[in-house]
Amino acid sequence: MTKADISELKKLDPEDMLARIHEVPWQCQQAWQMARKFKLPQEYSDINKVLVIGMGGSAIGGDLVRSLVAPEARVPIIVHRGYDLPAFVDDKTLVIISSYSGNTEETLSGFSQALETGAKKLAITTGGELKKLADEKGIPVLTFNYRAQPRAALAFSFLPILCFLQKLGVVGDKSAEVDEALNVLQKLSVRIDETRPVSKNPARQLAGKLHGHLPVIYGAGLLSEVAHRWKTQFNENSKAWAFYEVFSELNHNAVVGYQFPPELAEKIVVVLLRSELLSRRIQLRYEVTCELLERAGVHYEFVDGEGKAPLSQMLSLVLFGDYVSYYLAILYRVDPSPVEVIDYLKEQLAQRG
């Protein structure tokens, strides 16, 4: 980028969201190290299910963990978004309350209800009312200090949960996978950061193809929630409409809807997130679905995960999507950081009791 380009970036990104994306590899390292040092009560291993309570950027970490470890986890992992605690919570449940600010209305409601149960409880936050209540009740709190929009602190809502599940014997040792993922993320970031010209930067190229179009993200298996993450990053960073679908469910409904209204076909770009670790049957579904998209006149693009292990495949695609959403925000000439409509919604809810 020229000096003029960098100057323009700074004007459009005064809160420096780009720096937060650059720091993703460092975030992951810090979050993992913090969680490894954190001591859990011995009785917390006596569980038969895990419930993660959160909203938005604080909940997606639980979603990613759930989809990552589904093939091996010895207990079910459920992510809950909402005010009310599920009725199944009991003394064999580990309830992880995740809120970046510690003041999320729905999350605090669920936490208050969890306090009335015998569940094992654990909080992840930067502070706020959640930390205050947890400290008062003697509940373990992993407190981290990282100034960012909640969605830009994903590593702290993701890797600690994975580490805690490892400590409790719910999943196997992930240390080697984390080491590989950190290496993959560092190399990938160099290849797609803002200093790389468009001609050599696939993330900037994809943002250009999505500019003025409606992104629809497809994922499968361990990439299902990565597709979800891409969708929300386009919403919050790029201030753009976006949707996501999951294989193979989308083959039982979404593919039938490609036909109408016909004028939408040229305005949609489907981005298919792929991994060589997906089963052959799922990979075949990708192939046939692309044939159907071609018939409908809908443009599509592939983005492949990197690294050998599932964690690297997942996190490399998360990072790639973060960069794409940032570049798309710049193309739309909007500041990627603020979420003014969410702030407005919260203010209105507070005023209306």
The enclosing H or E element of 93 equals: strand 93-99
258, 259, 264, 303 from 296: Cα distances, Å: 6, 6, 10, 21
Identify whether 346 is a catalytic site residue.
yes
Return left, alpha or beta for 307; rule: phi > 0 is left, psi -120 to 50 is alpha, else beta. Answer: left
Residue 271 is inside which H or E element, if any? strand 268-274
d(CA 340, CA 353): 20
Annotated catalytic residue within 194, 225, 236, 306: 236
The burial class, CB within 10 Å (0-12 / 13-18 / 19+), for 143 is middle
Rounded-to-integer distance, Cα 123 and Cα 298, Å: 44
Backbone angles phi and psi of 141, in degrees to 5: -130, 120
Among candidate residues 320, 216, 222, the one with its CA nearest the CA of residue 279: 222
The single residue of 252, 287, 291, 340 carrying the catalytic annotation is 252
In terms of C-beta distances under 8 Å and separation of at least 24 residues, what long-range contacts does 281-286 make, across chains too?
282/220, 282/221, 282/247, 282/248, 285/220, 285/247, 285/248, 285/251, 286/218, 286/220, 286/247
Query: Catalytic: 22?
Result: no
Rounded to whole angstroms, how far apart are CA atoms 13 and 7? 10
Angle among Cα 278, 280, 284 to the nearest 5 degrees reads 105
Helix ranges restricted to H, the chain: 3-12, 17-22, 24-37, 56-69, 105-114, 128-137, 154-167, 175-192, 202-210, 224-236, 280-296, 310-331, 340-351
Catalytic residue among 92, 132, 213, 346: 346
194 as an active site residue: the answer is no
By annotation, the residues acting in catalysis are 236, 252, 346
